[in-house]
Homo-oligomer: A and B are copies of this chain.
Amino acid sequence: MQFAARTERIRTSHIREILKVAANPAVISFAGGLPNPALFPVAEIARAAADVFEREGQAALQYANSEGLPALREWISARYKKIHDLNIPPDEILITSGSQQALDLLGKTLIDPGRPVIVEEPAYLGALQAFAMYEPRFHHVPLESDGVDVNALEHLPMIRGNPAGDDAYPSGTGDSASRNRSGSPNSEPIFYTTPDFQNPAGVTCSTEKRRRLAGLADRLTIIEDNPYGDLIYDDDSERPPLLRSLDDRVILLGSFSKIVSPGVRVGWVCAKRPLYDRLLIARQAADLHTSNLTQMTIARYLADNDLDLHISALRKYYRANRDCMLTALSENFPAGALEMIRPGGGMFLWCRFRDPISTDAFFHDALHENVLFVPGGAFYPDHDPAGDRYMRLNFSNADPESIRTGVERLARAYQKNYSKQLGGLTKDSTAGAISGEIL
């Protein structure tokens, strides 16, 4: 059997393999990116579904339009206005089967083989997987503690050498290869970013950097993925603006996965025409539409319940989980062993060992103690060895007791295998780009 070349490059996700081990009930998993099922509004969604069946059951089970349920698109539009003072009309919102599908449709619609796609490093693997199917040329820009390294981004040859560049970037400074490609079809770079509570790094992009990024929208097609934006645990009085608020060419993705339920697979992408129309055609060809029953159920749930109240409960629970995990790490690991940014939201701690420990190896030590995480290398598709010293710990899917027990197991794995042979802490080891506080 012959396969398309695009499928030859794709590996099964490291993470999915790990998640299979997590099925063992003796194992405490900090590996998955799962929201906590104990917080799902099961009764409310059950009532919403019952209501949909009673009022409009036939319509819920029939084919529907590819754009998505009008009531749902109106709700999303109204929420952008309410939370972000942002005007996105419902007819620029396309409902997708999770924001993962939006990534796939964007890849299909925008990426010819070889088109430059710039991603953060470390990066969300699901996006790389979706885009990789369309065979772009990936470029990686380091993530810093306040967001992507905008200087490095601005100095990429394909940004500097773009004919749309302003005087600050005279075309003479672009490399000849990129200048040759400039102007040819599909050579404009795409930049994919998660400015709020990035996965895996938990980092939030500063307002200043957001302004600089938005200023590049002439030269870049910017995709802003925002699945975690509502999961804020600290003071949200100075929530930075969405990139989409700063430039309306930015393509904005959202999802109910982290704030209502991931299992229903309802997300969306906000895009202006003509892109919207191309996405819609790609959507029709891909699977016609998202489950109508599911869309109607979520729309009914949102109409009958106060989502902000639910999100407040999520924030409170996840904030406590985050703090519990931070405390457990500092109590169980030797002082100075781990470095990390305390994430202001989202679902992950991104921990770096100060000593040269490979988390790929440590993963097996931890598994021996029945605790799981994702080794950092998984998020460095370029195989930058910098990633080897990181581990991603999910704090949303466990309860506080499991978090404490799991961290004790992690620390035991560390003590058994590393603390002695390393002979204490190397205080002067250089910190990674996005390392911050020392625990």
B286 touches A265 (CB 8 A): no
A409, CB-defined interface residue at 8 Å: no
A361, CB-defined interface residue at 8 Å: no
Chain A 16-30 interface mask (CB, 8 Å, partner B; 1/0)? 100000000000000
CB distance from A389 to the nearest CB of B (A): 27
A287, CB-defined interface residue at 8 Å: yes
List residues of chain B with CB within 8 A of the CB of A281: 7, 10, 12, 129
B292 touches A264 (CB 8 A): yes
CB distance from A324 to the nearest CB of B (A): 21
B262 touches A62 (CB 8 A): yes
A309, CB-defined interface residue at 8 Å: no
One of A45-53, A329-337, A417-425, A428-436 contacting the partner: A45-53
A98 touches B288 (CB 8 A): yes
Range class of the A interface residue count: 35 or more
Chain B residue, CB-CB nearest to A96: B287
B274 touches A288 (CB 8 A): no
Q: How far is the CA of A98 from the CA of B265 in the complex (A)?
A: 14
A274 touches B1 (CB 8 A): yes
B288 touches A291 (CB 8 A): no
List residues of chain B with CB within 8 A of the CB of A206: none
From 95 to 132 in chain A, residues with beta carbon under 8 angstroms from any chain B beta carbon are 96-98, 100-101, 104, 108-112, 115, 126, 129-130, 132
A291 interface neighbour in B7, B38, B265, Cβ under 8 Å: B265
Q: How far is the CA of A54 from the CA of B264 in the complex (A)?
A: 16
Q: A61-B37, A291-B294, A293-B264 are in contact. Are A108 and B285 (CB under 8 A)?
A: no
A303, CB-defined interface residue at 8 Å: no
A134, CB-defined interface residue at 8 Å: yes
A263 interface neighbour in B54, B62, B97, B287, Cβ under 8 Å: B62
A62 interface neighbour in B40, B110, B221, B297, Cβ under 8 Å: B40
Q: A130-B286, A288-B98 are in contact. Are A262 and B2 (CB under 8 A)?
A: no
One of A78-86, A184-192, A193-201, A235-243 contacting the partner: A184-192
CB distance from A368 to the nearest CB of B (A): 25
A6, CB-defined interface residue at 8 Å: yes
A2 touches B293 (CB 8 A): no
CB distance from A314 to the nearest CB of B (A): 13
Could you write out 29 A-B pairs with CB less than 8 Å apart?
A1-B275, A2-B185, A3-B278, A4-B110, A5-B185, A7-B281, A10-B282, A12-B281, A35-B62, A37-B61, A37-B62, A38-B58, A40-B62, A45-B61, A61-B261, A61-B262, A64-B263, A96-B287, A98-B288, A126-B285, A129-B285, A130-B286, A133-B285, A263-B291, A264-B291, A264-B293, A265-B288, A290-B291, A291-B294
